[in-house]
Amino acid sequence: MKQVKIGIIGLGGMGMNHAKNILSGNIPEMVLTAVADTSEERILRAEENLSEDLGFFWDGKELIDSGLCDAVLIAVPHYQHPEYVIYALEHGLHAITEKPAGVYTRQVREMNEAAEKSDRVFAIMLNQRTNCVYRKLHEMIESGTLGELKRVNWIITDWYRTQAYYDAAGWKATWGGEGGGVLLNQSPHQLDLLQWLCGMPVKVRAFCHNGKWHDIEVEDDVTAYLEFANGATGVFVTTTGDAPGTNRLELTFEMGKIVCENDRLIFDRLSENVSVHCRTEQEGFKKPSCTREEIATDGKNEQHTGVLKAFADCILRGGPLVARGEEGINGLTLSNAMYLSSWLDKTIEIPFDEDLFLEELNKRRAISKVKEDKGKVFDVAGTF
């Protein structure tokens, strides 16, 4: 096999972008052979804008069963990600899913169990891991030269969205259709990067404000406090209501502080370990000396293209993925913990009670108003 024959399930904004990316030849070892969507309007648009040589399907499982594909890319509403991944893997196809991995961790755990039983490749579209800034930061942390993490603060508030954005698709920003708001739609990348860089917190206390800046039923403003096993702490702030907004990641280690902002890494490097200095320095106010430097990167940031190239390479030659599909549960664990903390108004320890989370989520799904663009109400259990 010289090229991976891939089908795309879901032809919304991301699905169409992926289709055009592949058809443009940007992933040389991948060829698009089929697409599927339940929307007549989207299928007609795909027939007009994509290759006429494709197989067109009204159902994703029919695409999987068609024999036209070696792999599938899943870009449907969040609740359905695990369903299609499991079906694809059990029917012998490789699978890559858009983020998030799902809506609740118990569902995603079942998907990961299916992946463990399969010999197919399973990946997730965590494309921010291709960003040279985050890759370099990960490399520096993994080297151990920075010492222990002391503090992390991430302000990611440049996700501004208007009311028109939410009104454009009836399943968005609803508990029944999307399963959440800014934590599940815009910020999964940052939550994944946070745990990829810093490890998983052991405690979370979050404040999620539903419909604070928009007429929606889910959260559009979040502030969360994190505690890590080594005593490090963190704050994560995100919203779709701020303009112009900020994307600033600040990490403090024993050997200095790193700020990631505007695609730059600025390192305030200490001359000695601050914990050692604290115990040995005789002057009460004297800090370790510090030098500031900008950390160089390789400048590469392939985003979705890089993820798909790695996916094809893994299928064809066993190369490394940007992110294994099983890793999607990590960032979702953080968002689930933040929701549960806010819903119960208390600190949540990780791991948390997954059954309790689903019970609380289902309370909100039961009264969710999920509407199609034309006003038709969907089944809130997640059937689209």
- Using the predicted structure, report yes or no on whether residue 383 has a pLDDT greater than 80: no
CB contact at 8 A, 76 and 87: no
Give the pLDDT of residue 378: 33
Q: Residue 360: CB partners within 8 Å, gap ≥ 6?
A: 339, 340, 343, 344
> Domain 129-298+331-366 belongs to what topology?
Dihydrodipicolinate Reductase; domain 2 (3.30.360)
- H-run or E-run covering 116: helix 105-117
Give phi and psi for 318, each to the nearest 5.
80, 20
Q: Strand 233-239 and strand 149-156: pairing?
A: parallel
The answer, yes or no, to whether residue 147 has pLDDT greater than 70, is yes
* Closest among 120, 101, 132, 155 to 6, alpha carbons compared: 120
Peptide bond into 201 cis (omega under 30): no
**H or E segment and range at residue 315:** helix 303-317
Q: Say if CB 319 and CB 310 are below 8 A apart.
A: yes
Q: What's the rounded mean pLDDT across residues 155-178?
A: 94
Statement: residue 373 has pLDDT above 60: no
Return the CA Rg of the chain: 22
What is the pLDDT confidence band of residue 374, given thresholds at 50, 70 and 90? very low
Give the right CATH number for 4-128+302-323 from 3.90.850.10, 3.40.50.150, 3.50.50.60, 3.40.50.720.
3.40.50.720
The encoded tokens of residue 78 equal: 């969040």
Q: Alpha helices of 345-377 — where are they, by DSSP H?
A: 354-366
Contact 92, 65 (CB under 8 A): no
- The stretch 117-121 carries a mean pLDDT of 98
Residue ranges, comma separated, of all CATH 3.30.360.10 domains in the chain are 129-298+331-366
Instruction: Name the token pair of 296.
Output: 């160089």
pLDDT at 265 over 90: yes
Mean of the per-residue pLDDT values of the chain: 95
For the chain, what percent of residues have pLDDT higher than 70? 96
Nearest to 246 by CA among 254, 257, 255, 235: 235
Inter-residue contact 279 to 258 (CB < 8 Å)? no
SS (H, E, C) 39-108: CHHHHHHHHHHCCCCCEEECCHHHHHHCCCCCEEEECCCHHHHHHHHHHHHHCCCEEEECCCCCCCHHHH
The dihedral built from the CA positions of residue 365, 127, 227 and 105, taken in this order, carries a sign that is positive
How many whole angstroms separate alpha carbon 37 and alpha carbon 84? 13
Q: Tens of pLDDT along 269-290?
A: 999 999 999 999 999 999 999 9
Cis peptide before 100 (omega within 30 of 0): yes
Q: Does an H or E element contain 268, and which?
A: strand 264-270
> Measured between alpha carbons, how far is 209 from 203 in angstroms, rounded to an integer?
20
Contacts of 230 by beta carbon, 8 Å cutoff, 6+ apart? 148, 149
The one-letter code for the residue type at 142 is E
Instruction: Tell me which residue of 43, 53, 40, 55 sits closest to 16, measured CA to CA.
Output: 43
Which secondary-structure segment (H or E) carries 112?
helix 105-117
Half-sphere exposure of 98 (CA within 13 A, CB side): 21
Q: Are 139 and 221 in contact (CB under 8 A)?
A: no
Q: Which helix (H) or strand (E) holds 247?
A: strand 247-253
Helices (H) and strands (E) in the chain, counts: 12, 15
Mean pLDDT score, 346-363: 98
Residue 372, pLDDT score: 56
Is the pLDDT reported for residue 376 higher than 80?
no
261 contacts: CB under 8 Å, gap ≥ 6: 246, 247, 248, 249
User: Which H helix or E strand runs over 223?
Assistant: strand 219-227
Domain with CATH 3.40.50.720 in the chain: 4-128+302-323
What is the per-residue pLDDT for 371? 66
Model's pTM, two decimal places?
0.94
